A and B are shown apart, each in its own frame.
Chain A
C-alpha cells in the first residue's frame, strides 16, 4: 500500500517535468531512426577507390578499370590534384594511381580495416585484368550474398540495433538517471526530510525501481512500434520471454545505479565513477558492434559485466526467437548483479 502510493507519487512528480519525460521517451526512438536509416541500405556498402586519372590512358589501365567494375567497388576518378586534396582531407581509404609501367596503391593508415579489404579487392582485380590482357578468359567469381545471422525477417542493421538500444537505454537510465538523481538529491539535502520519517529505505528504493520499470515498459513499446512500422522489425521470440529479460535487466541496472550512488558524495564524483563503468560497458558489450574480433581474454572478461549477457539473451529472444533456457548462465549473471547491487544499495543507502 505504502509502496503503491510511493510509486504513484514518483510518477505524478515525474510527469510534471515534461521536457525530461519527452526526451526519455524520444531519445531511444530517435537513435533507432537515426542509426537505422544511416545503415539501412539493403545492399552491402560499396568499397570506394580513388582512381587518379593518368595523362595517357594505357591498355592496362582500361583493363583494370573494367575489371574493378565487376567487383562491389565504387570508383572515384579524380585528377592528380583533386586526388591529392581528397587524400589530405583524410577522406580517401584507398587510392590507385596508374604509373608508366604499372600501378601505385596507397592505403590510408587511419582507415586500415576498410583500406586493407579494398586493397585486396584491387589486387585481385589487377591479377584478373592481367590475365585478360594476356588473352585468357574472364574467370567466374564466387557469388556473394548478404544475410543476417538471425531470423530471415530481421535482416537489417536496425534489427541488430534495437535490442542494443533497449539495453543501452536501461544502462544509462540506471547509471545516469537513477544514480545521479539519488546522489544530487542526497547532496542537496532532499532526502533528509525523509530520513526523519519512519519510511523504510527499501520501500523508497523499490518505489523508484517500479517507477523506472514502467518507464522502461513504455520506452520498449515505443521502440517496438517504431521498429515495426519504419523498419519492419518484429520480435521473433515470445513477448513473455522478452518481458522477463527486460524486467530482469531493469532491476539489474537500477540496482547498479543505486549501489554506485552510495559510493559518491558529490554529483561530480558520481559522474566520474559512472562514466568509468558506462563507457567500457557500452563499447565492449556489443551495443553497436560485436566483439568477435576482440582478443579472447577481453571477450571473457566482458561477460562478467551485466550488459553483455543481458544483450545476448535479449537478442537471442528478439532476433532469433530463442527460448531463455539456452541463456541461463547469462541471465544468472544479470540476476546476480541485480541481487548483489540491491542488497548493497539498501545496506549502504544514506539519507544524508
Chain B
C-alpha cells in the first residue's frame, strides 16, 4: 500500500472569467489531516471538487488511493467520503433516512445509529433535515461523508458559519475521524482551525499553492517568531516617520500597528520609549507569537480576513 493517500500534479481549471486553479501540486500522506488554507476565492473548493470527481480538470494528474478517475471512477467513489461546502438534501428526509439511503449506495457501510452517535445527532435522528440548525446540518453532512467507512475524507469548509461551541464540537469529530486511521483533507479560511486540526497545510491564494508544511514549520519559515501589536482607538495613525526612527518594519492594519521582530526583549523598551517621546496615542501594547495569519500576510501582503 502506497504511503500517499493523494498525489496531485499540475491541476488546472479555467472558468470563463477566472483561472480558478493555476497548477496545483499536492501530496497527502495516509493517516494525516491535511489542510488547504486560504481566503475565499483562493481556489480551495475547486481544487477539492476536482479531486472528488465533481469538476473535470482542464489538465493535471491525480492519484487517489492509488487509483485514477479515468479507470477507477466508481471504486474511488466507494472509498472516499465527501462533505460538500453546503449539503442540500431532498426535502423532508430525516438524518436517519438520509444515512440509511446513502449507505445503500455503497458496497461497505456503517450503520446510521453509529454515525448519529459519532456526530451527536441521536436526538435529532427522526427530525426532518430542514429543522436542523446550521451546526447540526454540518454534523449530519459529516456523518454522511463517513457512511461508507471511507479511507479518505474530504471536508470543505466544515465549520464556516458555525458558532464557537459548534465549531469545537465539530473539531472533536474530525480528531475522532483521524484517530480511526482515516486520512482527512479539509479546506478552511480559519487559521485557528488549521492550527488546531491540521498535521500539514498548503496555503493557497489565487489558484496556486504558496507554501506547504506543518503549522510550526510554516511559522518557523517566517523567521520572525514574535509580533508586537500597538492598538489604537479608531484608525491607526500613519507609520512612516516612526518606522524610520525605530529602524523596523511596521504594518498599519485597521486599528493596529504590527511590528514583526526576532527579538521582542530588546525592541519593546525602545518602542515604548519612542512612542512616549512622540506622544503616539496608543491604547494597549502586547507581544504575541507569530501565527499562520502572519505567514499568509507575509506571503501575499494581504490578510486572510480581508
Of A13, A190, A196, the contact of B82 (CB 8 Å cutoff): A196
The answer, among A16, A189, A199, for a CB contact under 8 Å with B88, is A189
Is B91's beta carbon under 8 Å from chain A?
yes
Knowing A9-B97, A9-B101, A192-B54, the reply to whether A198 touches B106 (Cβ < 8 A) is yes
Within B207-230, which residues are at the interface with A (CB < 8 Å)?
Answer: none
> How far apart are the CA atoms of A95 and B197 in the complex, in Å?
89
Does A244 interact with chain B (Cβ within 8 Å)?
A: no
Smallest Cβ distance from B149 to chain A, in angstroms?
13
A9 to B107, CA, bound (A): 19
Q: B15 at the A/B interface (Cβ < 8 Å)? A: no
B77 touches A16 (CB 8 A): no
Question: In this complex, what residue of B is CB-closest to A185?
Answer: B90
B78 in contact (CB, < 8 A): yes
B87 in contact with A193 (CB, 8 Å): yes
Task: Tell whether B93 is near chain A: CB-to-CB under 8 Å.
Answer: yes
Contacts of A352 in B (CB 8 A): 54-55
Contact in complex: A189, B86 (CB < 8 Å): yes
Decide: A197 near B106, CB < 8 A? Known: A5-B101, A12-B97, A192-B54: yes
A80 contacts partner chain B, Cβ-Cβ < 8 Å: no
Q: Does B262 have its Cβ within 8 Å of any Cβ on chain A?
A: no
Q: Which residues of B contact A5 (CB under 8 A)?
A: 101, 104
Interface residues in B70-113 (C-beta closer than 8 Å to A): 74, 77-78, 80, 82, 84, 86-93, 97, 101-102, 104-107
> Please, what's the 1-or-0 string for B25-62, where 1 marks a CB less than 8 Å from any CB in chain A?
00000000000000000000000000011110000000
Contact-residue size bin, chain B (C-beta under 8 Å from the other chain): 20 to 34
Residues of B within 8 A of A12 (CB): 97
How far is the CB of A32 from the nearest CB of chain B, in Å?
30
A17 within 8 A of B: yes
**Cβ A196 vs Cβ B80 within 8 A:** yes
Complex alpha-carbon distance, A12 and B104, angstroms: 16
What separation, in Å, do the CA atoms of A158 and B144 have in the docked complex?
51
User: In the complex, A199 Cα to B74 Cα: how many Å?
Assistant: 8
A 1-24 to B, binary, CB cutoff 8 A, 1 in contact else 0: 010010001001100110000000
Which listed residue, A17, A193, A196, A198, touches B89 by the CB 8 Å rule?
A193
CB-nearest residue of chain B to A8: B101
Whether A17 lies near B92 (C-beta < 8 A) is yes
Q: Point out which of A192, A193, A196, A199 has the most chain B C-beta atoms below 10 A from its C-beta.
A: A196
A residues neighboring B (CB under 8 Å): 2, 5, 9, 12-13, 16-17, 185, 188-190, 192-199, 351-352
For the complex of A and B, the 3 pairs showing the least CB-CB separation, nearest first, are A196-B82, A16-B92, A198-B77
